[in-house]
Amino acid sequence: MKLIINKSKTEEQLINGCLSKDPEAQRDLYERYSAIMFTVCSRYVKDVSEAEDVLLTGFLKIFNRIGQFKGDGSFEGWIRRIMVNESLTYIRRNKSMYLEVDIDKADREPDYQKLDNNLEAEDLMRMIARLPDGYRTVFNLYAIEGYSHKEIADNLGISENTSKSQLSRARKLLQKYLVESEEYYDEKSARDEQA
């Protein structure tokens, strides 16, 4: 019986292997980063199969352009930027983003102290996923990816003011969702006390 120890390749080894078009290095790179990059794509593209398509197209670009990574900054950050850009390209090609959708204003501010005890990161991500496409895209780019309104406007082909408006509306809608969540937990707590 032969014991095989599978040593994980370093980032540098993966990059060099991909530069040489080594299929094993490409597979290893994909396996290392695909799960987290799928999460990135899914924040922009709701449909799972479409998000998978964006992910695969993004990895093809990574394999074809890996020579453009010069080592400035993190490699994962470079990959993430490609995935975000690929997601935005998909949105521009396949979706009208309905950037002007009216929403009801939140009728009160949420009690953030109560929410802190009940709200999980997954709950917040689900709330973000419920946002209309345009709101969700701008919110993700600004609040999660750290893009400026100018960068968002350039990437989406909208004005900076539209980007700011979309962010503001996304925040208001998220506040509304937080209020609904707070009301849900208040009702649940009251039911639990009665039981």
Which is higher by pLDDT, 138 or 186?
138
Give the architecture (CATH level 2) of 97-195.
Answer: Orthogonal Bundle (1.10)
Reported CATH class of domain 9-95:
mainly alpha
pTM for this structure? Answer: 0.70
- The full set of domain ranges for the chain reads 9-95, 97-195
pLDDT at 180: 84
Question: In the structure, what pLDDT confidence band is assigned to residue 74 with cuts at 50, 70 and 90?
Answer: very high
What Å distances lie between residue 25 and 16, 92, 150, CA to CA?
Answer: 8, 32, 37
Q: Which of 79, 94, 119 is nearest to 44 (CA)?
A: 94
What average pLDDT does the segment 9-18 reach?
90
Q: Using the 8-state DSSP alphabet, how is residue 66 labeled?
A: G
Distance separating alpha carbons of residues 63 and 191, to the nearest angstrom = 55
Dihedral sign computed on CA atoms, order 45, 48, 52, 57? negative
Residue at 97: amino acid letter: M
